[in-house]
């Protein structure tokens, strides 16, 4: 954690706001925050567009239906929402909130929120805007909806990312903090608040599992959306089919991703690969049981926010195999949690997919991506992307879209000897002592108590900020950070 001096321990009135409280990462963050804040004597109200999921332990929830996902609306509706949030929060807390803590307000899931937030800021409300994901990062539909809400480009620019003495931002990692700083956010107003990592209690072990009794079992605890890179999981299954059974935990909820997920499921069945997608959904197994039954945890994800997948396995005392994302894991390494055994690329020969086909696919992806964000395509974009992607006539499997990945999988399935042309990751072999060391580091570094202290300290710093004139970050410069061709890929942006 960042070394920070606590300015004040006086209890605050805190309003936490999010679109919903369904099962998922942001809800878990809110649950941890509310619990930690109440424990420290703060008064908390959680304003959500929906009631919390049944098993949630979140104190002080009030449902405000206007916070639900919304792709259209008007400034008048946004102003009314600001007034309503103020009335409800004030009534619940016995006074106006000292801190308004919004989660993912710029993701454009509800296009009213930026105007609502700007209205509150104009009234002198002290705000903490916690960004888990950016609409500028591979979510052009969200971005377009938000842009269309405003009646002018000027209004969009002046509203989306307010900056002022009393408006602060929180990110989950240094990467996102550095991006905000690079486009003009004051350093003192951008805070890193890593998630707390829950203590997992498993009561099962691999010898008890009701399946995969003759092989190892690798568990990928994820919902199978596109950026989780399921094609690469099938590649690992193809390589280790005689030794390991692989499984993901959940199917996508969003119908947008279901067709891709089902296509991978059908291909795994056709090629007779030892992969079970959505085992918790289909089999009805409990998440903690699956963790306990596993021999190791696996991840093939090409994009993460906080990166819980890199920490949670050690709490469950399981080794981890998979793809390293240095932008995320550098934060863990800085705290002594080194994951050097993970791989950063699985390079395949370029001639397996064809240079001409890759050129066309890259040009198409770049054109569609820049067009979707209504941004001009740089002349050198394709050249820059391909130069960054290709190394010694090889390309990383995780950069390729589903059509290329499927082509490669079929090619290898027809001729398994081709696996010798790929530098595949080895199965994880870690001593119990090393696993215990990482477990203790994760527990001590990302414990709920440390999270609560850091969050309370951040609030205290916001309270000691003055009330200043509202300006705004450059929406163009922020978009440019994510439309850098070196950051794009066929899988995430195709």
Domain ranges of the chain: 13-196+447-477, 206-346+424-445, 347-423
Say what the pLDDT of residue 129 is: 98
Q: What tokens appear for 355 in the block? A: 């240079």
CA-CA distances (angstroms) from residue 251 to 223, 247, 273, 279, 360? 5, 11, 18, 8, 31
Mean pLDDT of 59-75: 95
Question: CA 159, CA 99: separation in Å to the nearest integer?
Answer: 20
Using pLDDT thresholds of 50, 70 and 90, give the confidence band for residue 267. very high
CA-CA distance, 51 to 63, in Å (whole number)? Answer: 6
Lookup: tokens for 413 = 């399935």
Model confidence band, residue 183 (pLDDT cutoffs 50, 70, 90): very high
pLDDT of residue 283: 74
The confidence band for 88, taking pLDDT boundaries of 50, 70 and 90, is very high
Tell me what the mean pLDDT of segment 79-91 comes to.
Answer: 98
Q: What is the 3-state secondary structure (H, E, C) of 193-236?
A: CCCCCCCCCCCCCHHHCCCCCCCEEEEEEEECCHHHCHHHHHHH
**What's the pLDDT score for residue 3?**
35
Are the folds of 13-196+447-477 and 206-346+424-445 the same? yes
Task: Output the pLDDT for position 10.
Answer: 65
Average pLDDT of the chain?
Answer: 94
SS3 for the chain is CCCCCCCCCCCCEEEEEECCCCCCHHHHHHHHHHHHHHHCCCEEEEEECCCCCCCCCCCCEEECHHHCCECCCCHHHHHHHHHHHHHHHHHHHCCCCCEEEEECCCCCCECCHHHHHHHHHHCCCCEEEEECCCCCCCCHHHHHHHHHHCCCHHHHHHHCCEEECCEEEEECCHHHHHHHHHCCCCHHHEEECCCCCCCCCCCCCHHHCCCCCCCEEEEEEEECCHHHCHHHHHHHHHHCCCCEEEEEEECCCCHHHHHHHHHHHHHHHHCCCCEECCHHHHHCCCHHHHHHHCCEEEECCCCCCCCHHHCHHHHCCCCEEEECCHHHHHHHHCCCCCCCCCECCCEEEHHHCCHHHHHHHHHHHHHHHHHHCCCCCCCCHHHHHHHHHEECCEEEHHHCCHHHHHHHHHHHHHCHHHHHHCCCCCCCCCCHHHHHHHHHHHHHHCCHHHHHHHHHHHHHHHHCCCCCCCEECCHHHHHHHHCCHHHCCHHHHC
- State the average pLDDT over residues 425-454: 93
Structure tokens of 490? 């066929």
List pLDDT tens digits, range 192-223.
999 999 888 899 999 999 999 999 999 999 99
pLDDT band at 6 (very low <50, low <70, confident <90, very high): very low
Per-residue pLDDT tens for 283-316?
779 999 999 999 999 999 999 999 999 999 999 9
pLDDT one-digit tens code per residue, 104-114: 999 999 999 99
Return the pLDDT at 18: 97
Q: Quickly state the pLDDT bin for 96 (edges 50, 70, 90).
A: very high
pLDDT of residue 2: 38
Give the pLDDT mean for 134-160: 96
User: Distance between CA atoms of 418 and 56, rounded to whole angstroms?
Assistant: 48
Please report, rounded to a whole number, the percentage of residues in the chain having pLDDT higher than 90.
91
pLDDT reading at 8 higher than 50: no
Q: Do 302 and 345 meet the contact criterion of CB atoms below 8 Å apart?
A: no
Neighbouring CB atoms inside 10 A of 125's CB total 22
Domain 13-196+447-477 fold is Rossmann fold (3.40.50)
Write the burial class of residue 124 (CB in 10 Å: 0-12 exposed, 13-18 middle, 19+ buried). exposed
* Mean pLDDT in residue range 446-451: 93
Q: What is the pLDDT of residue 174?
A: 96
- For residues 251, 255, 259, 262, the Cα torsion angle rounded to the nearest 10 degrees is 20
Q: Report in angstroms the alpha-carbon separations of 285 from 214, 280, 302, 487.
A: 19, 5, 26, 37
Do 176 and 481 meet the contact criterion of CB atoms below 8 Å apart? Answer: no
**Nearest alpha-carbon partner for 442 in 276, 194, 140:** 194
Tell me what the mean pLDDT of segment 82-86 comes to: 98
Q: 206-346+424-445 has which CATH code? A: 3.40.50.2000
Mean pLDDT of 386-402: 97
Residues 459-469: b if buried by 16+ CB within 10 A, e if exposed: bbbbeeeeeee
* pLDDT of amino acid 200: 85
Lowest mean pLDDT among 26-30, 167-171, 265-269, 365-369: 26-30
Grade residue 494 by pLDDT with cuts at 50, 70 and 90. confident
Identify the pLDDT of residue 253. Answer: 83
63 within 8 A of 49, measured Cβ to Cβ? yes
Average pLDDT of the segment spanning 138-146: 94
Q: Contact at 8 Å (CB) between 163 and 475? A: no
Do residues 64 and 50 make contact, with C-beta atoms less than 8 angstroms apart?
no
């Amino acid at each position: 954690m960042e070394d920070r001096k606590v300015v004040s321990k006086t209890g605050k009135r805190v309003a936490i706001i999010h679109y919903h409280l369904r099962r998922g990462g942001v809800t878990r963050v809110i649950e941890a925050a509310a619990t930690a804040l109440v424990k420290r004597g703060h008064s908390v109200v959680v304003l959500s567009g929906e009631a919390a999921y049944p098993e949630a332990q979140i104190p002080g929830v009030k449902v405000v239906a206007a916070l639900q996902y919304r792709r259209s609306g008007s400034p008048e509706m946004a102003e009314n929402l600001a007034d309503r949030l103020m009335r409800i929060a004030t009534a619940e807390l016995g006074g106006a909130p000292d801190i308004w803590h919004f989660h993912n307000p710029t993701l454009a899931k509800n296009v009213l929120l930026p105007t609502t937030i700007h209205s509150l800021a104009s009234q002198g409300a002290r705000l903490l805007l916690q960004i888990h994901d950016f609409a500028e990062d591979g979510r052009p539909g969200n971005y377009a909806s938000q842009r269309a809400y405003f009646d002018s480009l000027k209004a969009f620019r002046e509203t989306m990312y307010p900056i002022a003495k009393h408006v602060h931002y929180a990110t989950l990692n240094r990467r996102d903090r550095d991006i905000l700083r690079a486009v003009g956010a004051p350093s003192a107003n951008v805070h890193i608040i890593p998630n707390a990592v829950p203590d997992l209690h498993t009561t099962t072990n691999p010898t008890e599992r009701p399946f995969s009794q003759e092989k190892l079992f690798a568990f990928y605890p994820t919902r199978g959306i596109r950026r989780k890179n399921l094609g690469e999981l099938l590649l690992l299954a193809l390589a280790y089919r005689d030794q390991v059974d692989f499984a993901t935990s959940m199917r996508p909820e969003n119908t947008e991703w279901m067709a891709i997920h089902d296509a991978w499921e059908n291909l795994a069945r056709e090629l007779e690969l030892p992969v079970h997608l959505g085992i918790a959904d289909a089999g009805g197994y409990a998440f903690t049981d699956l963790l306990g039954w596993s021999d190791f945890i696996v991840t093939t994800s090409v994009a993460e926010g906080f990166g819980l997948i890199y920490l949670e396995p050690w709490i469950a005392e399981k080794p981890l195999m998979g793809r390293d994302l240095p932008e995320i894991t550098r934060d863990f390494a800085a705290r002594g949690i080194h994951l050097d055994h993970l791989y950063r690329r699985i390079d395949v020969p370029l001639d397996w997919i064809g240079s001409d086909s890759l050129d066309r696919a890259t040009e198409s992806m770049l054109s569609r991506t820049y067009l979707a964000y209504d941004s001009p395509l740089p002349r050198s974009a394709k050249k820059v992307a391909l130069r960054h992607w290709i190394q010694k006539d090889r390309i990383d499997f995780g950069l390729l879209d589903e059509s290329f990945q499927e082509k490669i999988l079929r090619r290898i399935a027809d001729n398994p000897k081709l696996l010798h042309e790929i530098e595949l990751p080895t199965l994880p072999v870690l001593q119990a002592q090393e696993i215990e060391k990482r477990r203790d580091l994760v527990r001590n570094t990302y414990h709920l108590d440390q999270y609560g202290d850091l969050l309370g300290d951040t609030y205290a710093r916001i309270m000691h900020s003055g009330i200043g004139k509202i300006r705004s970050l450059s929406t163009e410069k922020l978009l440019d950070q994510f439309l850098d061709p070196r950051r794009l890929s066929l899988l995430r942006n195709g």
